[in-house]
Amino acid sequence: MTWQAVAGHASTPPSEPQPEPEVIRAAALIDGWEGDGGHLESARAELDAALKRNPKSATAYREYARYYLVSEPDISGQPVLGSLDAALMSVDRAIELAPGFARAYVLRGHVLTLMGQLDQADAALAKADAIGTGDPWLALNRARLRMRQGKLIEASELCRDVSGRSQVRRIRLSADECLVDFYEATGQFQRMDDTYRHMLTYASDNAWMRGNYSGYLLCAKNDESGAVREARAALSIMDYGNARFRLASALYRSWATQWEAGHQEQAQPLLDEARGLVDAPPAQVVAASCGGKKVVAVLRALYRSGQLEPQPAINAIALAATRRDGVPGVFEVLVRGTGSDEKFVYANTMADYRDPASLTIRFTNEAAQALAKPRGGMARELLMDKRLVVAGFVRRERIDLLREGRPTGRYYYQTHLWVTDAAQVLDLGTGG
Report yes or no: 317 and 362 within 8 Å, Cβ to Cβ: no
What kind and span of H or E run contains 264? Answer: helix 264-277
Please, which pLDDT band fits residue 37 given cuts at 50, 70 and 90?
A: low
- Using DSSP bridges, classify how beta strands 406-419 and 359-364 pair: parallel, antiparallel or unpaired: parallel
Q: Are strands 387-403 and 406-419 parallel, antiparallel or unpaired?
A: antiparallel
In the predicted model, is pLDDT for residue 9 greater than 60?
no
For residue 405, the model assigns a pLDDT of 80
List pLDDT tens digits, range 313-350.
999 999 999 888 889 999 999 999 999 999 999 999 99
Residue 293 three-state SS = coil
Q: List the one residue out of 110, 150, 84, 75 whose CA is nearest residue 4.
A: 110
Of 381-390, 401-410, 417-426, the poorest mean pLDDT is in 401-410
377 band by pLDDT with thresholds 50, 70 and 90: confident
Neighbours of 341 (CB within 10 A): 8
pLDDT in tens, 158-212: 999 999 999 899 899 999 999 999 999 999 999 999 999 999 999 999 998 999 9
Residue 2 has pLDDT above 50, yes or no: no
Three-class SS state of 393: strand
**DSSP of 211-257, one letter per residue?**
HHHHHHHHHTS--HHHHHHHHHHHHHH---HHHHHHHHHHHHHHHHH
Q: What is the pTM of this model?
A: 0.82
Q: Rounded distance, CA 206 to CA 221, Å?
A: 21
pLDDT at 5: 42
Mean pLDDT of 241-264: 94
Rounded Cα distance, 42 and 44, in Å: 5
Average pLDDT over residues 369-380: 88
> Which is higher by pLDDT, 387 or 73?
387
pLDDT average, residue stretch 12-20: 75
Q: What is the pLDDT of residue 261?
A: 94
CA dist., res. 102 & res. 108, Å (int): 10
The answer to whether residues 36 and 46 touch, using CB atoms and an 8 Å cutoff, is no
> What is the average per-residue pLDDT within 22-48?
85
Quick check: 4 pLDDT over 80?
no
User: How confident is the model at residue 7, as a pLDDT?
Assistant: 54
Burial of 188 from C-beta contacts in 10 A (0-12 / 13-18 / 19+): middle
**Is it the case that residue 53 has pLDDT exceeding 50?**
yes
Residue-wise over 27-49: b if at least 16 C-beta within 10 A, else e? bebbbebebeeebbebbbebbeb
Domains and CATH numbers, the chain: 21-184 (1.25.40.10), 204-308 (no CATH), 311-429 (2.40.50)
